[in-house]
Amino acid sequence: MSGETIAAVLSGKGTGAIAAIGVWGDTAEKTIRKIFRPKGEKSARYEKGFSVLGTIRNKEEIIDEVIIACEDTEYFCINCHGNQLIETDILRLLQRQGTNIVSAGQFLLKTSLDKQLNTIEIEAKLAIAQAKTLEGTKIIRNQTNTGLNRIVQNWQKNIPPEDIKAEAKKILELSKSAGYLIYGAKVVLAGPTNSGKSTLLNCLAGKQKAIVTDVAGTTRDWVSAECKLGKLHCEIIDTAGIDETLFSKSCNADKEAQKKAKELLKSADLIIWVIDAAKKAPDPFFSLKGKPTITVLNKSDLLADAGTAASVDTIAISAKFGNGVEKLIKKIHLKLGIDSVNTKEAVCFTDRQRGLLEQIISADSKESILSTISELLNGKVCV
């Protein structure tokens, strides 16, 4: 150990019931003893596996009632109330005791290095803290005990290069959908003006995020909402209605809005092309070939035979009244392939791993494959 004691907020951002602050290092116990007063008469046992209830204090002033968990001899977790002001106050107090405040990633990296984990195992620890869904955490956990870690270690044995390449290819194929479950997906709503994009965003978000009016061109700036669609976490982005006349002759703000809408489409994992079911509308456009797209025929409540239009890539809904929205969510899952994800299967879950697997697939010698495998297991972690 370096002699340095570090601390970091390990729980997610925002207000929650409980927040976790990790404290690790040679002087961790001494520091905890200085700022923490156990409840009751008895003195606390700072031993691995024990939890102690008490108060964090700045001299006599109580900052919060907390539970201190002794994770290891030099590793403590302060479980305080999930309020950022309290977290900051406790971090300041720790800092005044000589503790170095670091990011959650750096904290996990340091504590993991001490346990002699390989790079995939360390990356898994970091990725679990960022996963957006429980299913995502399961996928990552399975990559350390079995999954990716075991397969890559196995590649170090005398395996024919073609077999390694075939396995690497399969891992990459499965990783895309698994990635949506781990990190979430970016879904962009686009289409002609007045087709109901903002209404659909509000419906999927379960609250009003974007302004809805009957005037074409209501949305200019894009509006985004974090949504939970069943087991999928999404960032859904509502964009300005695509209208070439607005692009060619209107004011600068309209031009910019049109430009931004097209830009956002390029970065989408999935495009939902929203059109008014009763109107003739352009096809989901242009040069976005290869992007998964679902065409939504909205305002189907205004049509007598709306259901007949549905196909694999098309669905009739009413964003205003909610009809067909559950089916749309199922289609989104299907398009992103998340229903077929098996949490036990080997996948990669960082850009570093993805890049190295691609290198293995295009490698032209066994030596080069072996050195990339070694890089996968022992390379530098990016925090």
Residues that bind ligand GTP (CB under 6 A): 193-199, 212-214, 216-219, 241, 298-299, 301-302, 318-320
Closer residue to ligand GTP in complex, CB, 143/318 = 318
Closer residue to ligand GTP in complex, CB, 93/212 = 212
Sign of CA dihedral 349, 350, 354, 356: negative
Residue type, 280: K
**How are beta strands 75-82 and 61-72 bridged, if at all?**
antiparallel
Closer residue to ligand GTP in complex, CB, 46/222 = 222
Structure tokens at 91: 């971090």
Please state the closest distance from residue 126 (CB atom) to ligand GTP, in A: 38
Please state the closest distance from residue 317 (CB atom) to ligand GTP, in A: 7
Q: Which residue has the tokens 């939504």?
A: 296
Please state the closest distance from residue 309 (CB atom) to ligand GTP, in A: 14
From Mg ion, ligand GTP, none, interface partner of 324 (C-beta below 5 to 8 A by class): none
Q: Is-contact 21 7, C-beta < 8 A?
A: yes
Closest CA to 306 of 293, 294, 323: 323
Q: Residue 231: is it exposed, middle or buried by C-beta count within 10 angstroms (0-12/13-18/19+)? A: middle
Closer residue to ligand GTP in complex, CB, 298/353 = 298
Task: Candidates 132-140, 143-151, 216-224, 270-278: pick the segment binding Mg ion (CB under 5 A).
Answer: 216-224
Structure tokens at 100: 């170095």
Choice from 198, 202, 224, 350 touching Mg ion (CB under 5 A): 198
Element (H, E) at 168: helix 161-183
Choice from 219, 298, 318, 353 touching Mg ion (CB under 5 A): 219
Please state the closest distance from residue 254 (CB atom) to ligand GTP, in A: 11
From residue 29, give the alpha-carbon distance in Å to each of 19, 70, 74, 76, 337: 20, 9, 7, 8, 47
Closer residue to Mg ion in complex, CB, 218/343 = 218
**How are beta strands 61-72 and 16-24 bridged, if at all?**
unpaired
Please state the closest distance from residue 281 (CB atom) to ligand GTP, in A: 11
Closer residue to ligand GTP in complex, CB, 168/190 = 190
119 near Mg ion, rule: CB under 5 A = no
Q: Is-contact 345 322, C-beta < 8 A?
A: no
Please state the closest distance from residue 321 (CB atom) to ligand GTP, in A: 6
The number of residues making up the chain comes to 383
Closer residue to ligand GTP in complex, CB, 185/240 = 240
Closest CA to 381 of 151, 129, 121: 121
The Cα–Cα gap between 346 and 117 comes to 19
Closer residue to Mg ion in complex, CB, 75/285 = 285
Please state the closest distance from residue 197 (CB atom) to Mg ion, in A: 5
Q: Which residue's CB atom is positioned nearest to ligand GTP?
A: 241
Axis-axis angle for helices 119-130, 147-155 (nearest 10): 160
Please state the closest distance from residue 362 (CB atom) to ligand GTP, in A: 43
Closest CA to 223 of 241, 245, 249: 241
From ligand GTP, Mg ion, none, interface partner of 83 (C-beta below 5 to 8 A by class): none
From Mg ion, ligand GTP, none, interface partner of 58 (C-beta below 5 to 8 A by class): none
Residues that bind Mg ion (CB under 5 A): 198, 218-219
